[in-house]
Structure 1
Amino acid sequence: MGERVERVDEHDEVLAVVGRDDAVRHRWLHRIATVVCRDTAGRYLVHRRPDGAARFPGGYNWMLGGAVEPGESYEEAAARELAEELGVRAHPRFLLKFRCAGAISPYWLGLHETVVSGPLTPDPGEIAWHDWMTGDALAELVYHEEFVPDARAAFHRYLVTRYLVTVRGERPHHA
């Protein structure tokens, strides 16, 4: 059956455990955990997916991540994905969750953030190129046609959340 995920409903409540390929093919909601990495200077890690990647080949992204495994929390999945894709052990901080329409299939996206100060060991199966960018440079790249569309949607939600927390002192909510 391949990779397994929890099929969830409109309220992110578990309905069943299914194959991820089935979830995508039938457009069933499932869970994805992502991590935004910043360095100690506040820059964002941006990467390009390998040309041979199954999903979004050659696409630029500012998030690392993947499917939440059955029984796993968004936070656990984010930490696991960060270790697998970047070789970084950390406990990313949960920022927000929203229902993403998805370019391939709809899903609930849990967005996390962490500061990375040590060396990176990118998995070449997931990351073909990477660099640190300022917020302004990232904001320009987001509109490049090769930027992963789902990552663009998450970027807009992230900006709103950072504004609410930083400027207005509000806590983020789940959309």
Structure 2
Amino acid sequence: MKIAESVTFGGGGLDRAEDLRRHPDMLDDLTAMTLPLWRGKPLTAPSRDALSFLDGHAFDGHGTPVLVGRLGERALFARDVSALEVDGVDDDLGAFRDSSEQTHADLPAGSAFVELRQTMTRLSPLDAEIAVCAKGMLEWHRTNGHCANCGTPTQPGKAGWMRGCAGCGRMHFPRTDPVVIMLVTRGNDVLLGRSHGWPEGFFSCLAGFMEPGETLESAVRREVWEETGVRVGPVRYLSSQPWPFPGSLMLGAQAEAITDRIEIDPEEIAEAVWLSREEVMEVFAGTHPRILPARDGAIAHFLLRAWLADRLD
């Protein structure tokens, strides 16, 4: 797919500076700056279309500093500051569409912690990649404080890109969960589904976690059948997107359905529908009587837009 890396969180060109993780002396030679995140929300500038970096090792003592990468002659670290008592905590916090913003007296005027899904399409490709890396890494540290082998507390190393166990000597590295997400088509129609807990009318492409020993193609066929009862034939890879909610890699594929009868598994999804191209155009135009579009910035939105524009080449 020629436009694959134009997906949100793709193609930012971040210098991840892996060499610095192994050479603390080289890292110390660079000037540091910090991107703080509160409950996974990155700090954004007053315009909300850029991240806000703080000079030095700001909020030292909060969480594990993780080297995100090198920006010129500066080393950028992410830091979890969720222990801060912030202003702006309200009922929207943690909602499906969290529009709340949190501030703190020690932050630059006008800056705020903002849910990444609310601002991701406004960020530059580089800032978006920085944000997705920072959020994913800090969530990994939050949930991997103990050794999965022996249960001993682990300690960070390699500038935050490893956790070592003093009990059994194992080293643990960040992991990403692969998820297939499918643009399932049959002629002029596309198959969309709605998960439990989503707002009424909100539909997206079908998706599911890959299983051990499974190819992408097999996972696509299995997930579509499990969720909707629809059988799939040819499958081809299109594009990928890191999705740190909490730590997935979305593997986008196009799948050609060979049956069209829908029999959903109610434990898997709430509803599934076939929509024509013309109906999907109505969805994106906001004129469809009951269906809302996939979240802007998500790979499902990207794939559906590309399908409508005949850009799946």
Query: The TM-score by the shorter chain falls in which range?
Result: 0.5 to 0.7
Secondary structure, counterpart of 1:71 in structure 2: coil
- Give the C-alpha shift of residue 84 in structure 1: 0.7
Counterpart for residue 253 of structure 2: 111
User: Following superposition of structure 1 onto structure 2, how do residues 14-53 of structure 1 map, counting pairs within 5 Å?
Assistant: 28-40=175-187, 42-51=188-197
Partners of 1:142 and 1:95 lie apart in 2 by 24
| AA aligned opposite 2:299 | A
Counterpart for residue 65 of structure 1: 207
User: What do the CA deviations read for 1:56-77 (whole angstroms, capped 9, x no partner)?
Assistant: 5757333222011122111111
Is 1:153–2:299 an aligned residue pair?
A: yes
- Give the C-alpha shift of residue 49 in structure 1: 1.8
Contact 1:44-1:62 within 8 A present in 2 as well = no
Contact 2:227-2:269 within 8 A present in 1 as well = yes
Contact 1:29-1:108 within 8 A present in 2 as well = no
More relative contact order in 1 or in 2 (CA 8 Å, sep 6+)?
1
| AA aligned opposite 1:45 | L
Partners of 1:73 and 1:24 lie apart in 2 by 30
Instruction: Say which is worse superposed, 103-112 or 78-87, in terms of deviation.
Output: 103-112
Partners of 2:141 and 2:177 lie apart in 1 by 7
Is 1:131–2:289 an aligned residue pair?
A: no
Secondary structure, counterpart of 1:91 in structure 2: strand
User: What do the CA deviations read for 1:127-168 (whole angstroms, capped 9, x no partner)?
Assistant: 323332222432453587965538843332454476345xxx
Counterpart for residue 96 of structure 1: 238
Q: Which has the larger radius of gyration?
A: 2
Unaligned runs of 5+ in 1: 1-9, 11-21, 166-170
TM-score by length of 2: 0.37
Counterpart for residue 85 of structure 1: 227
Partners of 1:24 and 1:159 lie apart in 2 by 35
RMSD after superposition: 3.8
Could you tell me the percent identity over the aligned residues? 23
Contact 2:204-2:300 within 8 A present in 1 as well = no
Counterpart for residue 19 of structure 1: none
Aligned pair count? 142
Counterpart for residue 6 of structure 1: none
Secondary structure, counterpart of 1:60 in structure 2: coil
Counterpart for residue 17 of structure 1: none
Partners of 2:142 and 2:202 lie apart in 1 by 21
Contact 2:232-2:255 within 8 A present in 1 as well = no
Contact 2:192-2:205 within 8 A present in 1 as well = yes
Contact 1:49-1:58 within 8 A present in 2 as well = no
Counterpart for residue 262 of structure 2: 120
Unaligned runs of 5+ in 2: 1-15, 17-139, 145-173
Contact 1:99-1:107 within 8 A present in 2 as well = yes
Q: 1:68 to 1:148 in 2, by over 3 A?
A: same
